[in-house]
Structure 1
Amino acid sequence: MKIVLADDHAIVRSGFSMILNFQSDMEVVGTAADGIEAYTMVAKCKPDILIMDLSMPPGESGLIATGKIKEDHPDTKILILTMHDDEEYLFHILKSGASGYVLKNAPDEELLLAIRTIHGGGTYIHPKMATSLVREFIKKDTTSQTEDPFEILTKRELEILPLVAKGYGNKEVAEKLFISVKTVEANKAKIMEKLNLRSRPELVQYALKKKMLDF
């Protein structure tokens, strides 16, 4: 099977490429450092599997790119590879079109199993996260936000929120908007307070629901 590997760390791309190319049924045909490069490589190489890191600052995040890639290249199956094990991410990852989810600290054998599982038409989710997914589907959405962010957030806060949701750090947001890191931190705190959010995953979920992110 042909595989494209997208991760913002070159050493991670090299390490996983060695593991995958060692397998008799796998070949890494391309690599990418962010979501935009991943889209380009999928269009060029037409892989069977795309292994996508979830967060790739300062480039386009894997979460944002997954939906676009699945829409334009539905035959390529996407396996998300990430350090995050938050329940909020899992629901949106699968909803965006990914076929599986593996943590970066998982054993090599689990990664290989996940690749072969989704290549065969299945879905791979770690048992711990599968329980979270079931819970997400059966519970009522009591935390849905009905407020219009364009009415309750300032212009500066509206600029900062999608950048934070895409995975950019405080320094990177400051450089993009030509403001100080302290200003970013202060506005992030105000955003979390105004929207009644407690964590970064909740902020990402809010941005997705309000369609504040784009490819």
Structure 2
Amino acid sequence: MDSIRIVVADDIEDIRNYFRMILDRETDIEVIAMAGSGEEAVEVVREGSPDVVLMDIEMETPLAGIDAIGRIKAEWPEVKIIVLTIHEEDDVLFQAYGAGAVDYIVKTSSIADILNSIRSAHRDRLYMRPEIAEKILGEFSKLQNEKNSLIYTLNIMSRLTDSEFAILTSVYEGATYKEIAKSRYVEEVTIRTQVNKILKKFKMRSMKEVMGSLHELKVFDIYKRRAQELGVK
């Protein structure tokens, strides 16, 4: 199995070295380059073709990392970018997701959490974590909390289990219950049972109604256009 090729971008050398140290211990991860600025990050991605980039935000400018994320995703959309952060400011993280980041890591996170984020991003297995949904919800706090509002829908989605979110995503992408069951190696009745649980959480009578609301509100577009990338594994 090929290693996950990583670029670490941070303007503080000690932090770069820390991440290299913990990642180099893993047999399935290889740090191929490090960068001290957003501009340098773009260059090393161009030269090294990594799978995942760990990207600090504030480097040569306060939002250098976000600018680099946008440039990298424009040229190499297959590269997964995870934000490195100390302070979890809602507006900055929202900008990072809008630019194309797939997750964020607090620099003081446990090694297990850091490794899990990297491996999940590489395998396209990142689902909407409650804390991510909360960040998104913060950007829309002025909306009315009514049935068809964006804040209401995001609040429900933050309470879905990973399995329910994956099924919802597959239905959104056009898969049938039979196809979803086959991909998940379960009986179709199991999928229908989970669909019923989803409907109860949305307080709707059919998935067609749920899909109509999601399309209208462009929920998956907000979550970094993940609807086109995330599939049921």
Q: TM-score, normalised by structure 1?
A: 0.60
Letter matched to residue 73 of structure 1: W
Q: Secondary structure in 1 aligned to 2:84?
A: strand
2:27 is the counterpart of 1:3: no
2:126 is the counterpart of 1:123: yes
Q: Report the CA distance shift for 1:60/1:88 in structure 2 as closer, same or farther (over 3 A).
A: closer
2:70 maps to what in 1?
67
Comparing 132-141 with 41-50, greater Cα deviation is found at 132-141
1:26 maps to what in 2?
29
2:51 maps to what in 1?
48
1:67 touches 1:96 (CA, 8 Å); kept in 2?
Answer: yes
Q: Report the CA distance shift for 1:124/1:19 in structure 2 as closer, same or farther (over 3 A).
A: farther
Note the C-alpha offset of 1:135. Answer: 4.1
Q: Distance in 1 between matches of 2:103 and 2:125?
A: 9
1:17 maps to what in 2?
20
Structure 2 residues without counterparts, runs of 5 or longer: 145-233
Q: Secondary structure in 1 aligned to 2:7?
A: strand
Q: Report the CA distance shift for 1:135/1:77 in structure 2 as closer, same or farther (over 3 A).
A: same
- Deviations along 1:97-120, one digit per CA (max 9) or x if unpaired, are 011111112111111111011111
Q: Distance in 2 between matches of 1:47 and 1:65?
A: 14
Q: Distance in 2 between matches of 1:43 and 1:69?
A: 8
Note the C-alpha offset of 1:134. Answer: 3.3
- Deviations along 1:5-30, one digit per CA (max 9) or x if unpaired, are 00001111111101011011100000
Note the C-alpha offset of 1:61. Answer: 1.3
2:38 touches 2:60 (CA, 8 Å); kept in 1?
Answer: no
Letter matched to residue 114 of structure 1: S
1:31 touches 1:38 (CA, 8 Å); kept in 2?
Answer: yes
Letter matched to residue 94 of structure 2: F
Q: Secondary structure in 2 aligned to 1:44?
A: helix
Q: Distance in 2 between matches of 1:87 and 1:13?
A: 24
Structure showing greater Rg: 2
Letter matched to residue 75 of structure 1: E
Note the C-alpha offset of 1:72. Answer: 0.7
1:133 maps to what in 2?
136
Alignment of 1:1-215 (within 5 A): 1-57=4-60, 61-123=64-126, 127-137=130-140, 139-140=142-143
Note the C-alpha offset of 1:124. Answer: 6.5
Structure 1 residues without counterparts, runs of 5 or longer: 142-215
Q: TM-score, normalised by structure 2?
A: 0.56
Structure 1 runs of 4+ off > 2 angstroms?
57-60, 122-130, 134-141
Equivalent pairs counted in the alignment come to 141
Q: Distance in 1 between matches of 2:91 and 2:126?
A: 18
2:102 touches 2:121 (CA, 8 Å); kept in 1?
Answer: yes
Q: Secondary structure in 1 aligned to 2:81?
A: strand
- The two structures, once aligned, show a CA RMSD in angstroms of 2.2
2:57 touches 2:63 (CA, 8 Å); kept in 1?
Answer: no
Q: Report the CA distance shift for 1:126/1:14 in structure 2 as closer, same or farther (over 3 A).
A: farther
Higher relative contact order (CA 8 A, sep 6+): 1
Q: Distance in 2 between matches of 1:24 and 1:130?
A: 32
Note the C-alpha offset of 1:91. Answer: 1.4
Letter matched to residue 88 of structure 1: D
